[in-house]
A and B are shown apart, each in its own frame.
Chain A
Amino acid sequence: MARKISNRHKTVATIAAWLVAFLIFFPILYTIITSFKSETEAIAGFNLIPSWTLESYSEVQSQYNYFKPFMNSVIISIGSTILALIVAVPAAWAMAFTPTKRTKDVLMWMLSTKMMPAVAVLFPIYLIFRDLGLLDSRVGITVMLMLINLPIVIWMLYTYFREIPVEILEAARMDGAGLWQEIWHVLTPMAVPGIASTMLLNIILAWNEAFWTIRLTTTNAAPLTAFISAFSSPQGLFWAKLSAASTLAIAPILIMGWFSQRQLVRGLTFGAVK
């Protein structure tokens, strides 16, 4: 079984891979570095060693009240994920454990709703939100993100639940377990990892959603996506401040993303690649 791998092969692969990885990661790295520079340093030409000042971070907070959009992002992404799970867990559960001949069609139809281009319904949604007073409200954008991610959440949960062996239920029943005992002691512990992974991926997707969040919020409910987009009209020097705002906006999700690589593959391919 053991393929003989020469040390030379391994060294060459290591150098090549690290080089490519560095190039791909470079824009992120350079942003993080620049966030610790002063504004004059930031435009003084290429330099990988900052003076480690935190002034951009404090200015982003004092000038732009950064904490507010950050908290909006937290509330909206977690809120929409919880809402989606409340609707999706029972649905995925039922389809996985009591499938009928229509289950497949229902799943496919749900997937098809994900493919509707957002821009096609931009104006109707805008009108509906305006008439219901939901424009620039956290409730409105949370519900919106819940709806657009619901198909992915149901699909992911379904692929996880389907892997729970039904025989284990029969065994529990033989031992005299009732329905609630079955659900609580047997199925729930087996379903929790799948639900947790789904939750993680959905928070990432909601955090980074950049169409509805930009168009349906302005100031009050604006999450980081909308806030950062407004940074595009520079007034004076803003390179270091932009970097600080960007670093804070991507750091939490970058770390979550690193922990959810596998689930990402599964969730975004609707179980087609595992």
Chain B
Amino acid sequence: MATKHSSSLARFMIAPAVLLLLVWMIVPLSMTLWFSFQQYNPLNPIRDGFIGFSNYLLFFNNPAFIASIINTLAIVVSVLLITVIGGIFLALLLDQPMWGQGIVRILVISPFFVMPPVAALVWKNMIMHPGYGVFADIARFFGFQPIDWFAQYPLFSIILIVAWQWLPFATLILLTSLQSLDSEQREAAEMDGAGFVNRFIYLTLPHLARAITVVVLIQTIFLLAVYAEILVTTNGGPGYASTNLPFLVYQKALLEYKIGQASAGGIIAVILANIVAFFVMRAVGKNLDR
């Protein structure tokens, strides 16, 4: 069906998108790569030029770097654990027959549509504030001393907020997948006398495996890049207690003007993201072949 004429037309139709994405990907990324080997401070007109891998060494020798990598991984792993396990339970619960299922669904997915600065500020001030937050009210009600969450447990607080934002996503995807489970298969298993636990382990979980993979991979991309939640709550502190890699790179670039080091950090972030991207592409690519 595709004639010569239509295939050249097709190329013409795809060209703008490809060109835009090509420029968007290559130009800034090569600039970052170039800066990562340069001594460059925009406030200081004297440039020392090419300095090899010194920026990378400086970045690696900065105690903040190790902290930021650990924090980045802590955020990714904890939020994934909370959202996947919580999401499976929630999806199973929402899949049960009940009254008002539509409304329950709407309530559960809502946090996903809350913009990150609002989510972070609402949790910081309305829920976790040591003086006026709901947690403090509850603590006082039971006669405990309210906890200053963001000062004492900064990373945990951020993990809690981010998990709240992503739990709906995991739930929604797992629920969608759950609902495509063949009900005949389920009934057959039930008739064979498989209990709830057995059905879950041998039927439901294998069926969900693909959706779980997708949730883990896609969330990882976004969780590696958590930024606004840190900016408006702890600002990376106290010290570097809640600084992740993106936040450290932002601080180096726009607050300290250490462009070389920031760029080296950016390249490290790209490498990290690429490792994840490799697996995402494989998972998505498999689906494309079907």
Residues of A at the B interface (CB closer than 8 Å) are 1, 3, 5, 9-10, 13-14, 16-18, 20-22, 24-25, 27-28, 30-31, 34, 42-43, 45-46, 87-88, 90-91, 93-95, 97-98, 100, 104, 106-128, 147, 150-151, 154, 166, 204, 207-208, 210-211, 214-215, 224-225, 228-229, 231-232, 234, 239, 242-243, 246, 249-250, 253-254, 256-258, 261-262, 264-265, 268-274
Taken together as a complex, chains A and B put the C-alpha atoms of A270 and B282 apart, in Å, by 13
Q: Can you show 16 pairs from A to B with CB atoms below 8 A apart?
A: A5-B97, A17-B96, A24-B164, A27-B126, A31-B126, A46-B141, A88-B17, A110-B17, A120-B269, A123-B254, A124-B27, A208-B114, A211-B225, A214-B228, A250-B118, A269-B214
* In the assembled complex, B168 has its CB within 8 A of some CB on chain A: yes
CB-defined contacts of B113 to chain A, threshold 8 Å: 204, 208, 250, 253-254, 256-257
Contact between chains at A119 and B254 (CB < 8 Å): no
Q: Are A225 and B29 in contact (CB under 8 A)?
A: no
Is A120 within 8 A of B94, CB to CB? no
Could you say which of A100, A215, A257 contacts B110, with CB atoms under 8 Å apart?
A257
Q: Is B188 an interface residue (CB 8 A)?
A: no
Chain A residues with Cβ below 8 Å from B141 are 46
Task: Check if A87 sits within 8 Å of B269, measured CB to CB.
Answer: no
Is B111 within 8 A of A261, CB to CB? no
B: residues with CB less than 8 A from A are 1-2, 6-7, 9-11, 13-14, 16-18, 20-21, 24-25, 27-29, 31-32, 35, 90, 93-94, 96-101, 103-119, 121-127, 131-132, 134, 137-138, 141, 164, 167-169, 172-173, 176-177, 180, 183, 187, 190, 210-211, 214, 218, 221, 224-225, 227-228, 231-233, 245-246, 249-250, 253-254, 259, 262-263, 265-267, 269-270, 272-274, 276-277, 280-281, 283-285, 287-288
Of the candidates B115, B164, B173, B274, the one whose C-beta lies within 8 Å of that of A273 is: B173
- Residue of B11, B24, B169 touching A113 (CB-CB under 8 A): B24
Looking at chain B's contact residues, the main secondary structure is helix
Q: Which residues of A contact B6 (CB under 8 A)?
A: 98
Query: Can you name the residue of chain B whose Cβ is closest to the Cβ of A179?
Result: B6
Among A109, A115, A228, A264, the residue within 8 A (CB) of B117 is: A228
Task: Find out whether the CB atom of B97 lies under 8 angstroms from the CB atom of A9.
Answer: yes
Task: Give Cα distance in the complex from A9 to B98, angstroms.
Answer: 9
CB-CB under 8 A from A87, the residues of chain B are 16-17, 20
Q: What CA separation (Å) do A214 and B93 show in the bound complex? A: 38
CA of A264 to CA of B104 in the docked complex: distance in angstroms? 17
- Complex contacts, A258 vs chain B, CB 8 Å: 106, 109-110
B247: nearest chain-A partner, CB-CB: A119
**Does B1 contact A115, Cβ atoms closer than 8 Å?**
no
Other than A126-B253, A231-B121, A242-B126, give 17 A-B pairs with Cβ distance below 8 A: A9-B97, A20-B90, A27-B126, A91-B13, A106-B18, A113-B25, A117-B269, A117-B270, A121-B266, A124-B32, A151-B21, A210-B116, A210-B117, A228-B121, A229-B231, A271-B287, A272-B214
